[in-house]
Amino acid sequence: MKRRDFVSKGLGTAAAVSLPFLGTAGRPLSAGRESAPPPDGGTSRFKLGYAPPFGLFKAHAGDDPAAQIRFCADEGFTAMFDNGLMGRPAAQQELISRELAARGMKLGPFVLYSDFGVKSFVLRDKDVRAMLVERMKKGVETMKRTGCAQALVVPGRFDESLAWEYQTANVVDNLRACLDVCRPAGLVLVLEPLNPKDHPGLFLTRIPQAYALCRAVDDPHCKILDDLYHQQITEGNLIPNIEAAWSEIAAFHVGDSPGRKEPTTGEINYRNIFKWIHGKGYQGVLCLEHGLSRPGKEGERAVIEAYRACDAF
């Protein structure tokens, strides 16, 4: 299993060109999904860098990546992301980069390493280390073609036979070896904790754990990707936990809980969270890593309206 099931269905495009740092407040959004269109009818830019994945607005924009970028720009989005960016042909990566640059849009973190089925970072093993280093080299190549300066890493499974402290030390050492490849190129690795309910057996599950890893690695090229859907399940108390880890957070994933659909469909007060993040002066991306609560054009329009409502703080 290489990533979430829905990612393989075309949700992706990630890697903010500049390293972000983040913030809350505002009134709760009512369950009725209040729509808050801008004065010009829906084309003014969002306050924050919400980044749809390629394929999210397929019913409106079709399959062509350039057409999807145009649609998102016309709707006021200032970023996009693609978890599967590394798997695209080089020519398509370059096309995406050009189209985004022409519209002043960012590209959020792409998935560099995320193998849920194996023990990797937790091991002190020369073959594993060599595999990880080679993977980093390919990530740097993707960064050079696309300008994506952030790449997502999930450190794999934990080892039931090895003390947790040894595993943690091994993760730190392996990350430092990876950064020896990434640092000279300017590529930032963002570590994503995933909740054990949806993804049992993984080493990295919580924001405080990721924070401790980043502080131990002690390198500005090792940061956190805070997936708010996962954080709500593992520790909740979202704004205080974001604030506590703020110095190490470089990007966000967005999805409501329960259900992992667009904001306003679950229990998370995204309007307050977005207002807090905006108040911190955050300039990075917030990747829309979620599904649709309704199918087709109606569902896609509901996503845009939800973000308009939550962005109206």
Cβ atoms of 129 and 174 within 8 Å: the answer is yes
- The yes-or-no answer on residue 267 being catalytic is no
- The yes-or-no answer on residue 192 being catalytic is yes
Q: Of the listed 75, 248, 262, 289, which one is catalytic?
A: 289
Between CA 73 and CA 43 the distance in angstroms is 8
The residue to which tokens 């980069």 are assigned: 97
Q: Of the listed 192, 262, 300, 305, which one is catalytic?
A: 192
The encoded tokens of residue 267 equal 């229990």
Catalytic residues: 192, 289
